[in-house]
Amino acid sequence: MPIRRLFLAATLLAAPLAAGAQPVEGLYLGAGAGIGFTPDLNDSGVRLRTNDVGAAAVLSLGWGFGNGWRAEVEGNYRSDGVDRLSLNGRTVGGSGYLDRYGVMANLLFDFDLSSFGLAPSIYQPYLGIGGGYVWNEIRRSRFSVGGSGYRIEDTDPQFAYQAILGGAFGLGGAVPGLSLTAEYRFLGTLDPKIAIGRTSGPAQAGVPGSFEPGNTNHALLLGLRYAFNPPQAPAAAEAAPAAAAPAPARTFLVFFDWDRADLTERARQIIADAAAASRRTATTRIDVAGHADRSGTPQYNQRLSQRRAEAVSTELVRQGVAREEITVTAFGESKPLVPTADGVREPQNRRVEIVLR
């Protein structure tokens, strides 16, 4: 399989094919299988050519940090059949197998395409790099030169490195947290040293005792990834019973900088005003509700709005409000003050509402 065809297929992985990809936070498990292509192994006059298409498989256990970054540990396996073995330009055999198996540690980043109209809940491409240890094994490969028989039956582990280009397409409508993945992977190792043994006849000139070929592989994989902590759908708000004569509520708004949950001096002054007003009006309950704009993932914005609400609640307590009088709620991006499209940074939506009741 020509390398350019593999790269063309890898490019197609970056096109959205399905809906419902799940942002990853916390523990996840992934598995994939597919095809691979190995360029000729060539050194010291020995050239080993594999079949056009081999097999490849990976199994990974990872952790998503909720901000696009993921880290994982991976076990992998690749296998190719030996199509032809040549020595100094002359074909001398064509049997055996080339196997690779090892362990890698990978670092990946999921891209948020919300600003292009593709939210993470629809499609999420990712890139990754990895390093680890891979065992390179040639087995059951035999050839003959000048009436003498030889075999290659050896294994050499070496440091390995890889690059990953992929996309996640969600199956969350059927199973929350489950995604279909499609990937291109480039794997390489330091040159392994493979021994060549003689099985019969006298030693022949020109047959080395070992060779150290360059070693790379290109693979296309389809797989599944399951996140054990998928984003939860916002809970439906329960209808409050109608009150006969509700007391008027007073609201104070505290605004935040983008992607921040710390309080500015202006924010502290507003909170101090709210605390003073609660004492003057004999308030019995203070609702503190955190909000975020739509520039990040819904799951990240939920946590950000919670941090903002907690920061305001802590300042209210510092201003003399009893903690048991405060109710803290986080709405994420679900209740914008100014409706916007996904991915838009809107300052008025980055807020905490303090409601005195």
pLDDT at 1 over 60: no
Question: What are the structure tokens assigned to 23, written together?
Answer: 């942002």
| pTM reported for the whole predicted model | 0.62
Q: Is residue 20 part of a domain?
A: yes
Contact 145, 206 (CB under 8 A): yes
Angle between helices 298-318 and 265-280 in degrees, nearest 10: 60
Q: Is residue 239 part of a domain?
A: no
Domain of 270 in residue numbering reads as 250-356
Q: What is the Cα–Cα distance from 301 to 56, expressed in whole angstroms?
A: 38
Contact 167, 124 (CB under 8 A): yes
pLDDT at 18 over 60: no
Model pLDDT for residues 288-300, shown as the tens digit of each residue: 999 999 998 999 9
Contact 137, 114 (CB under 8 A): no
Task: Tell me, yes or no, whether 50 and 185 share the same domain.
Answer: yes
Report the CATH number at residue 324: 3.30.1330.60
Task: Tell me, yes or no, whether 187 and 123 share the same domain.
Answer: yes
Model pLDDT for residues 41-56, shown as the tens digit of each residue: 999 999 999 988 999 9
Question: What are the structure tokens assigned to 36, written together?
Answer: 């691979």
Q: What is the Cα–Cα distance from 179 to 284, expressed in whole angstroms?
A: 47
Q: Residue 299: name the closest of 52, 46, 128, 121 by CA.
A: 121
Task: Tell me, yes or no, whether 182 and 283 share the same domain.
Answer: no
Report the pLDDT value the prediction gives residue 164, as an integer from 0 to 100: 98
Report the pLDDT value the prediction gives residue 172, as an integer from 0 to 100: 61
pLDDT (mean) for 328-346: 91
Task: Tell me, yes or no, whether 161 and 266 share the same domain.
Answer: no
Model pLDDT for residues 172-199, shown as the tens digit of each residue: 666 778 889 999 999 999 999 999 999 9
Contact 152, 138 (CB under 8 A): yes
Task: Tell me, yes or no, whether 122 and 24 share the same domain.
Answer: yes
Find the range with the poorest average confidence among 46-50, 181-185, 239-243, 255-259. 239-243
CB count in 10 Å sphere of residue 121: 18
Specify which residues 50 forms β-bridges with.
82
Report the CATH number at residue 214: 2.40.160.20
Non-local (6+) Cβ contacts of 179 within 8 A are 20, 21, 22, 168, 169, 170, 171, 172, 224, 225, 226, 227
Decide the pairing of beta strands 69-87 and 54-65: antiparallel
Contact 197, 138 (CB under 8 A): no
Q: How many domains does the chain have?
A: 2
Model pLDDT for residues 69-89, shown as the tens digit of each residue: 999 999 999 999 999 999 999
Q: Residue 100: name the closest of 83, 128, 75 by CA.
A: 75
Model pLDDT for residues 113-160, shown as the tens digit of each residue: 777 766 565 678 999 999 999 999 999 999 999 999 999 999 999 999
